[in-house]
Amino acid sequence: MQIGIIGRAKSGKTTLFNALTGGTLSTSAYSPTAMEPNIGVARVPDRRQDELVALLRPGKVTLAEVRYMDVAIPRGKGRELAGELLVHLSRNDAFLNVVRVFEDEAIPHPDGSIEPGRDMAGMELELAFVDLGIIERRLARITETLRGARAAERDSLLREQALLSRIGAGLEGDLPVREQSLTDDERKIVESYQFLTAKPVLVVFNLGEDQLDRARDVAAEYGQRFPRLPATGLCAKLEMELGQLDPEEAVAFRMDLGTGEPARNIIIRRSFALLDMITFFTTASNEVRAWTVKAGITAVKAAGKIHTDMERGFIRAEVIHQADLLRCGGYAEARRQGLLRLEGKNYAVQDGDVITFLFNV
């Protein structure tokens, strides 16, 4: 699972990437950044896991992870998403769109002024433009193939043609693929095209340090103007700098700032939520560990995420929801109350389950 960080040139993408992944890539006001994308990993903070750790006091704690990709988007007046960049972008499952709000004369905006609304809408248009290009090329191919097609092929080509035309019309009317109503079958066909507007987007307002007290207002203002785009705000530069302090110093700094949960954590959590994944926990071997899986996964497949032997030799899963385990104050009481359930291969794992797999190899 990977999330791409996009946004206009010099909006603070690499700064945010560093803040999220603890990276130390150089950021700059002028020089163009490298074209090769940067990949980094962030650990996903989870209150439920913290509570399990407090209860069970394991020797080891392993958090879920999410990967981020930072790309350089060239300075231009639009239509910057092209060529090799598109190959990189299509590898992501979701996007963060960094929108500049911070003011700094030393860092010129590609359009010459700071207008968050323009940049928010502009990036949506850019993504839609890429998808329209994909559709146009595919439709041209279909028309060509149809000329010499046998009857058996014709049917599916005509259906694909109708579907793509409909999606294209939706895009022209400002409806990203993610918001178009498609049947499950249509969605499957569409998946193979890797449409950029099919992927969820979280807008991240990059505020100046002096604007931080307005973070909520900014998000609310643009939330009203763009009700379909989820948004949140932070000062990427400050978050990056706090991330580079030693943890105790950082805590003291945050106390001074008076903010609650670190903005970095909020963004990691919210971007993770874009991915339609769920988390289950294991507590065996003195380790509390979070595992990330697709919603709807079966117990036997979830076991396979841990080890292929566990999937092959799967016998049963012993399952309890995190909240129940916590309420009981531990396994002994949970067992006494009959809250530890034995589930079979096809049990659909639920978000927040704590699972012990029984297997035999």
Q: Which residues bind ligand GTP (CB under 6 A)?
A: 7, 9-15, 27-29, 32-33, 72-73, 102, 104, 107, 206, 208, 235-237
CB of 102 vs ligand GTP, minimal distance in Å: 4
Q: Name the closest residue to Mg ion (Cβ).
A: 14
Residue 250 Cβ vs ligand GTP, minimum distance, rounded to whole Å: 17
Quote the least distance from Cβ 100 to Mg ion, whole Å: 12
**Could you write out the three-class secondary structure of the chain?**
CEEEEEECCCCCHHHHHHHHHCCCCCCCCCCCCCCCCEEEEEEECCHHHHHHHHHHCCCEEECEEEEEEECCCCCCCCCCCCCHHHHHHCCCCEEEEEEECCCCCCCCCCCCCCCHHHHHHHHHHHHHHHHHHHHHHHHHHHHHHHHCCCHHHHHHHHHHHHHHHHHHHHHHCCCCHHHCCCCHHHHHHHHCCCCHHHCCEEEEEECCHHHHHHHHHHHHHHHHHCCCCCEEEECHHHHHHHHHCCHHHHHHHHHHHCCCCCHHHHHHHHHHHCCCEEEEEECHHHEEEEEEEECCCEHHHHHHHHCHHHHHCEEEEEEEEHHHHHHHCCHHHHHHCCCCEEECCCCECCCCEEEEEEECC
Tell me the sheet residues that pair with 83.
Answer: none
Q: Which does 11 bind (CB under 5 to 8 A by kind): Mg ion, ligand GTP, none?
A: ligand GTP
- Residue (58 or 208) nearer to Mg ion, CB: 208
97 sits near Mg ion (criterion: CB under 5 A): no
Residue of 173, 175, 149 whose CA lies nearest to 161: 149
Contacted by 10, from Mg ion, ligand GTP, none: CB < 5 to 8 Å by type: ligand GTP
Contact of residue 317 among Mg ion, ligand GTP, none (CB under 5-8 Å per partner type): none
- Nearest-approach distance from CB 232 to ligand GTP, in angstroms: 14
Give the nearest distance from C-beta 279 to ligand GTP in angstroms: 30
- Could you give phi then psi for residue 279, rounded to 5 degrees? -120, 130
**Of 243 and 352, CB closest to ligand GTP:** 243
239-268 mask for Mg ion (x: CB under 5 A)? ------------------------------
Exposed, middle or buried, 96 (CB in 10 Å: 0-12/13-18/19+)?
A: buried
Tell whether residue 206 is a contact of Mg ion (CB under 5 A).
Answer: no
Q: Is 239 or 353 the residue whose CB approaches ligand GTP more closely? A: 239
Per partner kind, with CB cut-offs from 5 to 8 A, the member of ligand GTP, Mg ion, none near residue 104 is: ligand GTP
Compare residues 102 and 291 and give the one whose CB is closer to ligand GTP. 102
Nearest approach in angstroms of CB 17 to Mg ion is 7
Q: Please, which residues have CB within 8 angstroms of residue 191's CB and are 6 or more apart in sequence?
A: 198
Give the one residue of 11, 14, 92, 97 binding Mg ion; rule: CB under 5 A. 14
Cβ-based nearer residue to ligand GTP, 33 or 279? 33
Q: Does 33 bind Mg ion (CB under 5 A)?
A: yes
Q: How far is CA 327 from CA 54, 322, 330, in A?
A: 13, 9, 8
Q: Is 282 in the site for Mg ion (CB under 5 A)?
A: no
Which C-beta is closer to Mg ion: that of 38 or that of 49?
38
* Closest approach of ligand GTP to the CB of residue 10, in Å: 4
Q: Which of the stretches 29-37, 142-150, 269-277, 352-360 binds Mg ion when contact is defined by CB under 5 A?
A: 29-37
Query: In whole angstroms, what is the distance from residue 134 CA to residue 55 CA?
Result: 52
Q: For ligand GTP, give the closer residue by CB, 206 or 283.
A: 206
Region near Mg ion per CB under 5 A, out of 1-9, 14-22, 151-159, 177-185: 14-22
Residue ranges in contact with Mg ion by CB under 5 A? 13-14, 33
